[in-house]
Amino acid sequence: MKVYGLIGYPLSHSFSKGFFAEKFAREGIKECMYDSFPIPTIGDLPALLTQQPGLQGLNVTIPYKEVVIPYLDELSPAAAKMKAVNCIRFKDGRKIGYNTDAIGFRRSLEPLLQPHHNKALILGTGGAAKAVQYVLESLNIPYQLVSRQASAATISYEQLDAATMASHTLIVNTTPLGMYPNLEAAPAIPYELLTADHLLYDLIYNPAVTAFLQKGADKGATIKNGHEMLILQAEASWEIWNEQ
């Protein structure tokens, strides 16, 4: 039996287990299973690998996309640049880290981009934000990081003024604000300054329309949640695990 799975903590919100169960059934893929492995600390990873000698691949989610790297033997060029991993392949006794978040995000974002979506705000600075930064750089879209506290690399939510909001028409939420069950939460951007020119992308997929997206829709903005990105990154993981 080939075993695949997901590490993170907690994993109550996991999409992956159901996705792969359906994929295996739909495509008649035998001798494969996908399970969730909630590990309270990344230091528990070596013990998990010992307990699961049949592991062929893992997905990695919050909060381990960055701290998992020292446990790996090798990184793909993209994962090395992002310094974030969400996919591990086990091959010939080696643990190789990849980032399929970037693949999923790019494939789901590109069809929505208009010529005026030429500057972006990235809300949050965690592992998921690294994939978004990588994609925007590859698309030649300049971006500004936004965080609760201003720093050399970020501005704070309080610093989002009318000029910044008008010029940055692509806004990507990489924070967990608004994720089930905290449905009322939303990043503290000045929503009254949004227009029909804005494209709001939320990496969250549960609920389908977060408070962040709803506030954008109310202003006529184009909105997109993270569900398609999740499907695309999962399919990309499967491709990586099964490359010859």
Q: Residue 6 and residue 138: Cα distance in Å, rounded?
A: 28
Hey, what are 82's tokens?
């992002």
H-helix segments, 27-96? 45-51, 77-82
From the CA atom positions of the chain, what is the Rg in Å? 18
81 is catalytic: no
Q: Helix count (H) and strand count (E) of the chain?
A: 8, 12
Instruction: Give 24's contacts (C-beta < 8 A, 6+ positions apart).
Output: 30, 32, 33, 34
* 35 DSSP β-pair partners: 5
Catalogue the E-assigned strands of 73-187: 74-75, 87-91, 94-98, 120-123, 143-147, 154-156, 170-173
Angle at 96 between CA 91 and CA 73, to 5 degrees: 100
* Residue in 73, 71, 47 with CA at minimum distance from that of residue 60: 71
Q: Residue 229 and residue 20: Cα distance in Å, rounded?
A: 15
Q: Active site residue: 2, 23, 30, 65, which one?
A: 65
Phi and psi angles of residue 50, each rounded to the nearest 5 degrees, phi first:
-70, -40
Active-site annotation, residues: 65
